[in-house]
Amino acid sequence: MIAPEKFFSGIGKRLKASEVRELLKWVKRGGIISFGGGMPDPKTFPVEEMKEIFSDIFSDRKLGEEALQYGTTEGYNPLRETILKMLRKSGFKILEDIENIVITTGSQQALDLIAKVFIDPGDVVIVEAPTYLAALNAFSYFQPNFEVVPLDKDGMRVDLLEEKLESLRKEGKRVKFIYTVPTAQNPAGTTMPNDRRKKLVDLAYEYDTIIVEDNPYGYLIFDDRVKFDYLGAFDDEGRVIYMSSFSKILSPGFRLGFIAGHREFIRKLILAKQAADLCTPSLTQMAANEFLKRGYLERHVEKIKKVYKEKKEAMIKALETYMPEGSDWTNPVGGMFIWVTVEGVDTTDMARRALERGVAYVHGRAFYPENAKELGKNAMRLNFSYPTIEQIEEGIKRLSEVVKEFRGH
């Protein structure tokens, strides 16, 4: 008889299924309206454009060979060039050339590589509260001490960040990095205005730390009045490590992300990537680059924004119509999520009841590190990109009934 447990490493032993994955198992049983996942609307996928692009790649023998070959670890150079141009246009200051950019296998790999390259056990890492669950998972392997900074409707409370940095300094603790999703945050749906962004970068200077800006939703701002700059626009020292992804604007199945920043940081990240997977698939990099070069992205992003704006509005309207007193929610200007809080309701306890009534969400505690979970006890994350408008209306109605009933106990 084999005893599998005795073979695992310390990291292996600590691995456990994510709360969201467990929930998705339920959802697969059918009949359930899910606000739980974080998937783009597949109806928006550019299937026709990809048919054309893939056909063009394989109609050219030389391109076809390149697409099927290993690539370099740092990524397909034409795609790095295209990304460099896009980031320069957005005002990212320190970028000189493609040596400032590495392509990653999804931005999940970017999080993993950043964790490997920067975190020693016990290092302080500051995250927003709530924050992106998959970032917590990636960082946790390397056993940092998470410190949290709460959000309000304008994203990270940089005043509280300053207090946190000051008190950590007094304790003689250095902060390795601050991880933030400043734009259409996952899970909270908040977007930081420029004054907070500038203050955040100023604080990184003042307290000699760096910032990891995760920005998968920057192109998915559906309220045109909202203007802001990327953190890199306020930084001329290379304190901002920027990461983004093609998952939400093109295809999560492509597994394409990238990191941009100080070339010394990028050099190390490339070395870590070499050991992780040698290279990101050449084929998807070439296809994504063609998609951008042919000007399809702008058109495509407009289409997604229109669909998500309608869905978000439908969800807000349903929340206003059905949710009882004592509930509150964010009203995102972009992205895919609304953060709902309900006074007096423990959303972890309520989740099973909600599933029985045919509606799924992710409970708030999932988005906080171990030492801060209670901050999320009354909260839930609702995804509006994947369900249809009809499902949104019906699902929020069901959810509101569950809340009312659950409170009655």
Binding site for ligand PLP (CB under 6 A): 38, 106-108, 132, 181, 186, 214, 216, 245, 247-248, 252, 257
Instruction: Identify which of residues 144 and 216 has a Cβ nearer to ligand PLP in the complex.
Output: 216
Helix 282-293, helix 61-68: angle, nearest 10: 130
Instruction: Identify which of residues 252 and 358 has a Cβ nearer to ligand PLP in the complex.
Output: 252
Q: Secondary structure of the chain: what % helix, strand, coil (to 5)? A: 50, 15, 35
Per DSSP, the residues of 187-234 read TT-----HHHHHHHHHHHHHTT-EEEEE-SSTT-B--TT-----GGGG
Supply 68's token pair: 């099927």
Instruction: Identify which of residues 257 and 387 has a Cβ nearer to ligand PLP in the complex.
Output: 257
Instruction: Identify which of residues 287 and 323 has a Cβ nearer to ligand PLP in the complex.
Output: 287
Name the minimum Å distance from CB 360 to ligand PLP. 18
Name the minimum Å distance from CB 332 to ligand PLP. 12
Name the minimum Å distance from CB 39 to ligand PLP. 9
Instruction: Identify which of residues 196 and 255 has a Cβ nearer to ligand PLP in the complex.
Output: 255
Instruction: Identify which of residues 132 and 327 has a Cβ nearer to ligand PLP in the complex.
Output: 132
Question: Residue for token digits 């005002």?
Answer: 91
What's the alpha-carbon Rg for the chain, to the nearest Å? 21
Give, in order, the Cα–Cα distances in Å from 54 to each of 21, 49, 278, 292, 297: 32, 9, 23, 14, 16
CA 134 to CA 247: how far, in whole Å?
14
Instruction: Identify which of residues 49 and 214 has a Cβ nearer to ligand PLP in the complex.
Output: 214
Name the minimum Å distance from CB 273 to ligand PLP. 14
Name the minimum Å distance from CB 287 to ligand PLP. 16
Name the minimum Å distance from CB 46 to ligand PLP. 17
CA 58 to CA 383: how far, in whole Å?
37
CA 285 to CA 71: how far, in whole Å?
10
Pairing relation of β-strands 379-383 and 362-363?
Answer: antiparallel
Name the minimum Å distance from CB 247 to ligand PLP. 3
Instruction: Identify which of residues 107 and 284 has a Cβ nearer to ligand PLP in the complex.
Output: 107
In this structure, how many other beta carbons lie within 10 angstroms of the beta carbon of residue 403? Answer: 24
Would you give the distance in Å from CA 204 to the centre of its chain? Answer: 21
Residue 58 phi, psi dihedral angles, 5° rounding: -85, 0
In this structure, what DSSP letter does residue 64 have? Answer: H
Name the minimum Å distance from CB 107 to ligand PLP. 4
Instruction: Identify which of residues 132 and 265 has a Cβ nearer to ligand PLP in the complex.
Output: 132
Name the minimum Å distance from CB 104 to ligand PLP. 8
Q: Is 376 helix (H, G, I), strand (E, B) or coil?
A: helix
Q: Is 342 helix (H, G, I), strand (E, B) or coil?
A: strand
